[in-house]
Amino acid sequence: MTDPLFEYLCRMGDNTLVLSHRVSEWCGVAPVLEEDIALANTALDLIGQTQLWLGLAGEIEGKGRDADTLAFRRDVWDFRNVLLAEQPNGDFGQTMMRQYLFDAWHLLQLKALKGSSNAQISAIAEKAVKEVTYHVERSGDTVIGLGDGTEESHQRMQKALDRLWPYVGELFVSDAVDQALSAKGIAPEPTSLREEYDTAVDAVLAEATLTRPDSDFAHQGGKTGVRHTEHLGHMLTEMQWLQRAYPDATW
Amino acid sequence: MVEEKPTLETVWGWLDSVPDPEIPVISLTDLGIIRDVQWQGDTLEVTVTPTYSGCPATSIINLDIETALRAKGIEKLSLKRQLSPAWTTDWLSESGKAKLEDYGIAPPRPAGGPQHCPRCKSAKVERISQFGSTPCKAQWRCQSCLEPFDYFKCI
């Protein structure tokens, strides 16, 4: 097996990288200017966090790969992001629902990582948790505003929740990588975050007058890289195009 | 070429005149992102912490520090990035906060919002968005003079 620490850092960095790219697809075309700016800011925070996570991953791996190399020179099967992050934007409501479902988990995850026995991981988490606190405040407010909004916005948000809920379970699935790191106090057991997540999400969904789907069926395969959805490959084709067409091109 | 090593106090003074690239009315020391200045032998080591992890100004800030110190004759320079403790707006100097307000940016407050409109000083203000034109700012509007303004987010 690959070094669990490297795997774990790729998971963290690929989550933020892939979601950041998705969110950045709204730049210049969001419904209103303030939302456009907010989305671009969120994407920017996430790309900054990506540089820290993937930068550290490359350092741990020790093969001379930096954050850019990991981002632009790996193919789809080497990505370790959760399936939720790679789901297409859909309409604005679906984008904000995906953001909220991710942010609510991301905040708990980073709070736990702040207490990591690995000083570098703890420092990145300490930095990122401040940014993500803002993300979840805004995405939660937006889910409430649109869910408890007009008949049309309510319907769209319910549809988005139904569409995305089957991707939530993967955030809490524990495997050998998680177990190896949690045994050393480096990272939390994913399952340990579920209860607090459910409490937070249920409160927001209730205020948004949205109904959480009954089924807890969970699509899996993103964080292990075994089975990404077809959407990730298309996204990478665009994101990696320049470095693939012109290797080592610099700004 | 510097004959003798300048004192750390002198170096801090030089850094105090390097403006923030996004908000040039405040300096890098006002912003509180320069955490340490030390001589390591004959190399000057400057420790800098980023405001936001993705802030594009970070690389410009490093370049500006280097340019300013080179202009003063510093030849051996090392810039060190420090993530922890994470930057907080508590480190913004009092004079920095006053300069922000004069410039039209409401300074950060632990209460989570601006005290008043930086232009007309009315306390009747409302938030437009948690985010603004740079990662460190949010958009607010004055309900008295109706002007939108930037608020420096408290983190």
User: What local confidence, expressed as pLDDT, does residue A46 receive?
Assistant: 98
* Averaged pLDDT score across all residues of chain A: 96
Final residue in a domain of this structure, among B65, B87, B109: B87
Please indicate, yes or no, if residue B96 is contained in any of the structural domains: yes
Q: Within the 35-64 window of chain B, which residues sit less than 8 Å (CB to CB) from chain A?
A: 50, 52-56
Please indicate, yes or no, if residue B1 is contained in any of the structural domains: no
User: What local confidence, expressed as pLDDT, does residue A220 receive?
Assistant: 96
Distances (CA, A) of A246 to A70, A237, A243, A249: 16, 14, 5, 6
pLDDT band at B112 (very low <50, low <70, confident <90, very high): confident
Provide, rounded to the nearest whole percent, the portion of chain A with pLDDT above 90: 97
Q: Are residues B103 and B33 in the same domain?
A: no
Q: Are residues B75 and B96 in the same domain?
A: no
| Mean of pLDDT values over A115-144 | 97
Residue B154 touches chain A, beta carbons under 8 Å: no
Looking at this predicted complex, what is its ipTM? 0.89
> Which residues of chain A make contact with B135, given a CB cutoff of 8 A?
41, 44-45, 131
Both tokens of B122, joined, read: 């009315």
Element (H, E) at A230: helix A230-239
Please check the confidence at residue A169 and state whether its pLDDT lies above 90: yes
Domain chopping of chain A, boundaries: 4-209+221-245
Tell me which chain A residue has its CA closest to the CA of residue B135.
A41
> Alpha-carbon distance A133 to A104, whole Å?
9
Q: Are residues B105 and B71 in the same domain?
A: no
Closest residue to B132, CB basis, from A37, A119, A128? A37
> Which residues of chain A make contact with B87, given a CB cutoff of 8 A?
127
Nearest to B62 by CA among B50, B76, B75, B44: B50
Provide the residue type at B133 as one letter: S
Please check the confidence at residue A18 and state whether its pLDDT lies above 60: yes
* CB-defined contacts A:B, below 8 A: 71
Which residues span the domain enclosing B111?
Answer: 92-152
Residue pair A116/A186 in contact (Cβ under 8 Å)? The answer is yes
Burial class (CB in 10 A: 0-12, 13-18, 19+), B55: buried
Please indicate, yes or no, if residue B48 is contained in any of the structural domains: yes
> Alpha-carbon distance A141 to A48, whole Å?
24
Q: Which residue, chain included where needed, has tokens 């009747």?
A: B124
Please indicate, yes or no, if residue B2 is contained in any of the structural domains: no
User: Residues of A at the B interface (Cβ-Cβ below 8 Å)?
Assistant: 34-35, 37-38, 41-42, 44-49, 51-52, 119, 122-124, 126-128, 130-131, 134, 137-138
> Alpha-carbon distance A171 to A102, whole Å?
9
> Alpha-carbon distance A80 to A101, whole Å?
18
Residue B132 touches chain A, beta carbons under 8 Å: yes
Q: Which residues of A168-191 are buried (b: 16+ CB within 10 A; e: fewer)?
A: bbbbbeeeebbebbbeeebbbebe
Residue B110 touches chain A, beta carbons under 8 Å: no
Residues 6+ positions from B79 with CB-CB distance below 8 Å: B45, B46, B48, B62, B65, B66
Q: Are residues B68 and B29 in the same domain?
A: yes
> pLDDT tens digit string along B31-43?
999 999 999 999 9
Q: Are residues B64 and B12 in the same domain?
A: yes
Please indicate, yes or no, if residue B21 is contained in any of the structural domains: yes
Element (H, E) at A68: helix A67-72
Provide, rounded to the nearest whole percent, the portion of chain B with pLDDT above 90: 86
Residues 6+ positions from A176 with CB-CB distance below 8 Å: A1, A4
Which CATH number applies to A4-209+221-245?
1.20.1260.10
Both tokens of A117, joined, read: 């026995």
- Å from A53 to nearest chain B CA? 11
Please check the confidence at residue B1 and state whether its pLDDT lies above 60: no
As for how many domains chain B has, the answer is 2
What sections of chain B are H helices per DSSP? 8-15, 28-31, 57-71, 94-103
Please check the confidence at residue A129 and state whether its pLDDT lies above 80: yes
Final residue in a domain of this structure, among B72, B87, B102: B87
> pLDDT tens digit string along A55-105?
999 999 999 999 999 999 999 999 999 999 999 999 999 999 999 999 999
Q: Are residues B70 and B141 in the same domain?
A: no
pLDDT band at A1 (very low <50, low <70, confident <90, very high): low
> pLDDT tens digit string along A190-228?
999 999 999 999 999 999 999 999 998 999 999 999 999
Q: Are residues B102 and B83 in the same domain?
A: no
Final residue in a domain of this structure, among B35, B58, B87: B87
- Which CATH number fits the domain that encloses residue B58? 3.30.300.130
- Å from A102 to nearest chain B CA? 18
pLDDT band at B98 (very low <50, low <70, confident <90, very high): very high
